[in-house]
Amino acid sequence: MFFLLLISTGRAAITVYQANNQAAFSTAAGAKYTGVAAYNPTSLSPPPLPSPTVLTTIPINLENSGTPNLSIKQKGSFIGFSIEMSVTNQVLGKNSTLIQVPFLNLMANIQQRAGSVMVRVGGNTQESAKLVDDGVIPDGRVLTKNHTGVTGTTQTPPLEFSRDLLYMMRNISSFVNVHWFLGIPWFVTQPFDTKIITASQEILGDYLLGLQAGNEPDMYHIHGHRNDSYSPFDYGGEFSDLLTQVSATNADPSGKAMKLLIGPNIADFSWTPEQVWDSGFVDKFHDNLAFLAVEKYPRDNCAAMFGGPNAVVTDPQTILPYYLTHDAHTKLLAPYLNSTTYAQKVDKPFLMFETNTGSCGGFLGISDSFTAALWGLDYALEMAHSNFSGAMFHLGGQNVFYNATPPTNQSTFHQWTVGALYYSALVMAEVIGPSNNTQVINYGVGGLSSYTPIYNIYENGTPVRVAIFNYIDDPSGANTVHAVISLSGATMPSSVKVKYLAATTVVQKGGYTWAGQTFGKNFESDGRPMGQEDIKTINCDTTAKTCTVDVPAPGFALVFLNDDAFTEDKGAPPMTFPTTAHTKTHNTATVEPSVLATSNGFRKSIHELAGTSKPPSAAPRTAKSSLVALSVVFGAVVVILSRAM
C-alpha cells in the first residue's frame, strides 16, 4: 500500500504530519538547515537559458471587439486558498475570539481587488474530523488531534474540532468578505456523520459556499478506505445515501446545505472525470450540486516526506525547469477541457479544488521561490482561459514548502512569512478584478515560446489588460521581452500603465515585489504590503500606433490599457487590521526594525498600500466608528482592528 502511494506520481494530495527529508537536497555549501520546511533558506541554481534562443520581440495584436473563444466570465476571487483542516488553528486563529490579524490583512488585500475571497477548510483531515461538544477540547482551542487513533499510510491522526472553529470562520467573514468551503467526512457512510452539515449551515449561513462530498474518493482504495472495486457508480450510491440520511435525520433543516454539495473531487488517480459524468452523477444530483470539482497536483514529493523502502526522492534542481514553462500547464489541464465544456453544458462552475506545486509538501527551492509565484499565476490564468471557475492553493503547515502563507509557531502577529503563491493570488485578483464580467484568453502568436505566455483580459468583450510572463532567468538583458501591443478597431492610447511582479532571479526566496511593494522575507509580514507603490507609465509610439512593454527575465507585467482598467481598489475599500498594544490609532503596528528598513512608506500604509490610487475622499480611511478590539494570537496584546468603511 505504501509503495502504491509512492508511485502515484502527481496524483496524491497528501498532507504531512511528520518532519520531511527534503533538506537532504540542500544545494548550498556549508551548514545544513535543520528547522521546519517552510523556512528552509536553501535555494537552487537558475535553469540554463533556452537554446536555441526564443522570440523576445512579441507582437500582441488586439481587436477592440469580436475576439472569439474568450473564456467564460471569471471572478477576481479565482484563486482561493485551501487550508488543511488540521492547521486552521495556525492560520486562521486560535479560536473565535483570537483571530490571526495577518490572515485578515492578507485576505483584505485580495478583497480590495476582487471583492471577496474563497477559502476552503479541509483536505485529508476533513475525512476523519469529528465535531465534538463544546468544552470537550481544553484550553479554548478549536481542534485537537487524537494521536491514539492514527491510521493508514498517511499517518493522519483523527481530528476533533468544536463549533467554535465555525464561529471563528464566521467572525472572519464579518471583517473580510471570505466565503467558505468545508467537507463532509466520507470514510464512514453508514451512517454519515452529518454534524458539520447542520452546524456549518447554521453558523456560516450565506458565507458557506459549498460542502465537499468526499475528498479524492478515487484514492480511497489506496489507503484502505474502500475496496479496489469502488467505482464512480458506488460513489454516486453513497451520495444518494447521504441525501436520504440527511433528510431522515433532519440534518439540514433549512434545505440549503443539500444544494451546496461539491463532487466528485477526484484526484484523477483511478477514475477519469468522464467516468463520473458518464455514471449519470450530475444528472441525478443536479439540484444538489453547486460545483463540480477535481484536485490535481503536477507531481508529488511523497518520497522525501514519507521515505520508506523504494522511495526515490526527487531532486528539485532537476525538475525546476518544468515549473518555468507554460506548456507544463497546458499539458496538466488538457485532460480537463472536455469536463469544463461539459460543466458549461450542465450549468455548473468547475473548480480545481486543491492544488499546488507538488503534493506531499512541494519542493524546496521551487515551491518557496519566485518560480512558484510565476508558475501559480500562469497556472491560474491558464485555468481561467480553460473555463475553470476557480482554484484553491493548498496550505499545509510548517512542514511543507508550498504555503501561500505559512503559519508559524514562532510568529507574533507581525512575523508571518508570506509565500510565493500569495503573490500569485494577489496579482490574479488584480488581473481579473471585481466586475464578474471578465474574460481571459491565452494569446497565441506564431513563434511564441513556452517561456513567454501572454493573456489578454476583456471586459464586455473589449480588451482592458494584458498579462505578460517571462520565465527566463537572464540578468544580461538579452532575454528581456519586448511586447509590442497594438489595437485595431479603436485608438491606441498615448501611454499605458504597467505593474510588475519582480524578483532578481527565479530562485529568489521572499522579498518579491508587486508594483514595488513586498511582504518581505521570512517572518517579516503582518499581512500588509510594505513599500511605496510603483506604477510605470510607458509612452506609446503614436506613429506606429503601438505600445512596447518590456518584461525582464524573469518577470511578469500587467498592462492597463486605460485608467478604467485599474482594479486595485475596485473590489472593496482598502482595509487593514493593524495591531498595537499601545494606542488606538490605526497605524501603529509594531514592526521589526529589519522590516521597517525595507519598507519605505510603510507608516503611511493605510491607504498608501492602495498606492497611487486616491482614497475615495480626503478623509482618512480608518472610520473611528468601527473599532473592534480583539486580542492577538500568541500574545496577550490588545489588537485594534480598524475597518476602513
Ligand X SMILES: *[C@@H]1O[C@H](CO)[C@@H](O)[C@H](O)[C@H]1NC(C)=O
Return residues touching ligand X (CB under 6 A).
36, 69, 71-72, 94-98, 115, 139-140, 146, 148-149, 158, 160, 164, 167, 171, 174, 274, 277-278, 337-338, 342, 344, 385-387, 409-410, 434-436, 628
- Residue 53 or 97: which CB sits closer to ligand X? 97
Nearest approach in angstroms of CB 147 to ligand X is 8
Nearest to 237 by CA among 190, 203, 195: 190
Nearest approach in angstroms of CB 475 to ligand X is 35
Phi, psi of 113 (to 5 degrees): -90, -35
Nearest approach in angstroms of CB 68 to ligand X is 7
- Residue 4 or 167: which CB sits closer to ligand X? 167
Q: How far is CA 211 from the centre of its chain?
A: 18
If residue 465 lies in a helix (H) or strand (E), which one and from where to where? strand 462-470
Nearest approach in angstroms of CB 439 to ligand X is 8
CA distance 607 to 576: 9
Beta bridge partners of 395: 83
CA 418, 423, 428, 430 dihedral sign is positive
Task: State the Cα angle at 294 between 556 and 218, rounded to 5°.
Answer: 140
Residue 592 burial (C-beta neighbours within 10 Å; 0-12, 13-18, 19+): middle
**Can you read off the three cell numbers belonging to residue 105?**
490583512
- Residue 160 or 430: which CB sits closer to ligand X? 160
- Residue 318 or 626: which CB sits closer to ligand X? 626
- Residue 480 or 634: which CB sits closer to ligand X? 634
**Can you read off the three cell numbers belonging to residue 556?**
511578469
Q: Which residues contact 147 (CB under 8 A, 6 or more apart)?
A: 157
- Residue 436 or 612: which CB sits closer to ligand X? 436
CA distance 76 to 70: 16
- Residue 34 or 537: which CB sits closer to ligand X? 34
Q: What is the DSSP string of 263-325?
A: EEEE-SSS--HHHHHHTTHHHHTTTTEEEEEEE--S-B-HHHHH--TT--PPPHHHHGGGGG-
Nearest to 293 by CA among 263, 329, 269: 263
- Residue 72 or 551: which CB sits closer to ligand X? 72
CA distance 197 to 307: 37
Using DSSP's 3-state secondary structure scheme, residue 251 falls into coil
Nearest approach in angstroms of CB 545 to ligand X is 28
Angle of the 420-432 helix axis to the 370-385 helix axis, nearest 10? 40
- Residue 462 or 513: which CB sits closer to ligand X? 462
- Residue 301 or 386: which CB sits closer to ligand X? 386
Q: Which residues contact 521 (CB under 8 A, 6 or more apart)?
A: 417, 509, 510, 511
Beta bridge partners of 334: none
Nearest approach in angstroms of CB 342 to ligand X is 5
Nearest approach in angstroms of CB 268 to ligand X is 13
**Can you read off the three cell numbers belonging to residue 468?**
505578460
Nearest approach in angstroms of CB 120 to ligand X is 16
Nearest approach in angstroms of CB 24 to ligand X is 18
- Residue 290 or 320: which CB sits closer to ligand X? 290
Contact between 547 and 495 under an 8 Å Cβ cutoff? The reply is yes
Regarding beta strands 555-560 and 178-184, do their DSSP bridges make them parallel or antiparallel, or are they unpaired?
unpaired
Nearest approach in angstroms of CB 564 to ligand X is 14
Nearest approach in angstroms of CB 172 to ligand X is 9
- Within 10 Å of residue 565's Cβ, how many Cβ atoms? 19
